[in-house]
Structure 1
Amino acid sequence: MVLVSAAGVLGLRALVARYERSVAQERLLDEAARQRRTAVSGPLNYLIIGSDLRANDPEGGQRADTIVIAHVPAGLGQAYLVSIPRDLRVEIPGYGTDKINAAFAYGRAPLLSAAVTGLTGVNFDGAAIIDFSGFQHVVDLLGGVTMCVDTPTRSIHTGRVFTAGCHQMSGAIALDYARQRYDLPAGDFDRQRHHQQLLKAILAKASGSGLATNPLKLDQLIRAVGSSLTVDTNGVPLQDLIFAMRGLRAGDLVGLQVPAHAETIGGTSYALLDDPAPDLFAAVSNAEVAAWATANPKWINKL
């Protein structure tokens, strides 16, 4: 959406046509999870799945690294990112009780969407799989992003030490940081917040990167973003969706944490919902998220 808003040189229609050709489109939503409308008018709910599915073995068993409900209120001028804990203990249709991210391994995006709808009661206007490893290239093309580290931590993947403060990070470093959860005060809940922070940082950098005067970089970014996405637009032409929400900026994103806590059951660590969670899910379904967030500031993530 930011790329389209910066398309002063190439022209909006030409840019959207090129972008649409670069993005893979599939039916990602289970029919029980799908919202029955085909117009781009708020409120809207989208399921965003973070995975390395497109970069690695597409046939191998994988679990969703990130599960986010993106709620866009009427007016399409804001977006709430509601992160579902990947270790949340739920009933997965046909597979019994398990962590919610296991649904992606069992039945890919359709089964995961069915599990999320069964948990929350939310039906979706569309869905997207984001290849976060592919976003490394996007971040690097933007010249890196600024990520603010509030708790010093060491990467369990690379041994890299992240010191407190705001730092300019390359794609590899930003993703390394965003994937950490061990030794952080809130564990996986901090990791969820860092994923939201990274998406906001990418949006902020793209907004101010001078793309309108650099058609070559703009074209490179279109291809890089397109190669990192698989979308289900619920029958809406992708260009209509992009045009409708092209005005969203980094400052319009609000990150929310689903009220939950970690608990070990039978030797396995799960996340279990806390009392405010059902009210949050109802607020998403009923387009009352702003009011819920105002009444529950504890669950607003600092991005």
Structure 2
Amino acid sequence: MGATSRAAQTGPRRRAGRRRAPRWARILLGAGLVLVLLAGVAVVGLRLLGDRYERTVLREQLLDPTARLDGTSLDGPLNYLLVGSDRRPGDDNPAQRSDSILIVHVPAGLRQAYLISVPRDLLVTIPPGGGFTGGEDKINAAYEHGGGGQPGARLLSATLTRLTGLRFDGAALIDFAGFRTVIDLLGGVRMCVDTEVRSIHTGTVFRPGCQQMDGRQALDYVRQRYDLPRGDYDRQHHQQQLLRAMLERAGQTDLRRDPVKLDRVLRAVGSALTVDTNGVPLQDLLFALRALPADALHGVQIPSSPQTIDEVSYVVLDDGGTGLFAALRDEQLDGWAAANPRWVSKL
């Protein structure tokens, strides 16, 4: 959990080719904006939609200076921090912890993407920031120690950079409650339940099998972790599945033929997102990622294990986690994934 050298944080960037994907499945994924349903239209339309979205979404400096990459190349590789919370910048509630933390990695060539879930209870060293003096705690506490919202995201990003040695091309803060509307506007999503689980929030019983879920059901399901065989690791996988399900649903929905509905979707997405694109215009990022295949998403869990320390339950990094972070920094994640299939799943 110690700091890494600056040289390790800013490695060389490589270029490669692309492979096309179905319309509306070409999503603005690399920015961490996995759920932005804008892709798959003609070049002119793509630019116009990007410009409209540029005016809708809230922009903030979400990355700490120590966690920000000095210059983003749209040829890749791209690394974005995705933080899920029920709170947005400006909310003054002091008790704000990040419900979901993902690193979105798009290798050079932009032909696939890895969604790396960070365990919410991972034991880390949080640096000073936002009035916090620093110290060991669960990683989802970094967002709260920073004060939530923009300053919370900054402290969380600094914590992740200290842990991984990785600097980010941008970040997005998602109000997952806001995405309930997006899911409903898309007509729901198809989720495959692998283990029966009863919601601790609503009492709903989710039974095994593939089924259509509306926004309320889908968000409730992916928040469950109790009574699941692998606890929070299963929750992480289910959240990754939801991102893929929304991509698939976007690919099935031709919003271009319904401009009123498209505008409602754009506004719903914009109201639920706060972004930091490191100075890159959203429409340029969208255009660069238009050919990212929707069927090339990989879910990754960080090698780790539960451990009780002083009667508190934590998740502790395994040696394989250190190897994962090195592979991210060195642009060797494909090789690491092939050698560690236990921690990787095709979404």
Interval containing the TM-score (normalised by the shorter chain): over 0.9
Asked if 1:77 corresponds to 2:116, the answer is no
Mind listing any 5+ residue stretches in structure 1 that lack a counterpart? none
Structure 2: distance between partners of 1:302 and 1:73: 16
Structure 2: distance between partners of 1:226 and 1:232: 13
Aligned to 2:159: 115
Deviations 1:221-266 (A, max 9, x none): 1111111111111111111111111222431211001001111111
Aligned to 1:20: 54
TM-score, normalization by structure 1:
0.96
TM-score, normalization by structure 2:
0.84
Asked if 1:40 corresponds to 2:74, the answer is yes
What amino acid sits opposite 1:86 in the alignment?
R
Residues 252/126 of structure 1: CA separation in 2 closer, same or farther (3 Å cut): same
Report 1:3-152 matches (<5 A).
3-7=37-41, 11-54=45-88, 57-94=91-128, 95-107=134-146, 108-152=152-196
More deviation in 281-290 or 175-184? 281-290
Mind listing any 5+ residue stretches in structure 2 that lack a counterpart? 1-27, 29-35, 129-133, 147-151
More deviation in 202-211 or 138-147? 202-211
1:302 shift after superposition: 5.1
Asked if 1:155 corresponds to 2:199, the answer is yes
Structure 2: distance between partners of 1:66 and 1:271: 15
1:56 shift after superposition: 9.4
1:49 shift after superposition: 0.4
Structure 2: distance between partners of 1:128 and 1:30: 13
Partners of 2:46 and 2:283 within 8 A in 1: no
Structure 1: distance between partners of 2:43 and 2:185: 18
Structure 2: distance between partners of 1:252 and 1:221: 24
What amino acid sits opposite 1:98 in the alignment?
D
Report 1:260-271 matches (<5 A).
260-271=304-315
1:238 to 282, 294, 298: 282
2:258 to 214, 223, 237: 214
CA RMSD of aligned residues (A): 1.7
1:175 to 219, 226, 234: 219
Structure 2: distance between partners of 1:181 and 1:117: 27
Q: What percentage of aligned pairs have identical amino acids?
A: 59
Residues 168/10 of structure 1: CA separation in 2 closer, same or farther (3 Å cut): farther
Helix, strand or coil at the partner of 1:117: helix
Residues 140/232 of structure 1: CA separation in 2 closer, same or farther (3 Å cut): same
Structure 2: distance between partners of 1:149 and 1:116: 31
Structure 2: distance between partners of 1:96 and 1:126: 25
Structure 2: distance between partners of 1:302 and 1:174: 20
1:178 shift after superposition: 0.1
Structure 1: distance between partners of 2:223 and 2:90: 17
- Following TM superposition, the consecutive aligned residue runs of length 4 or more in structure 1 with deviations greater than 3 angstroms are 6-10, 55-60
1:189 shift after superposition: 0.6
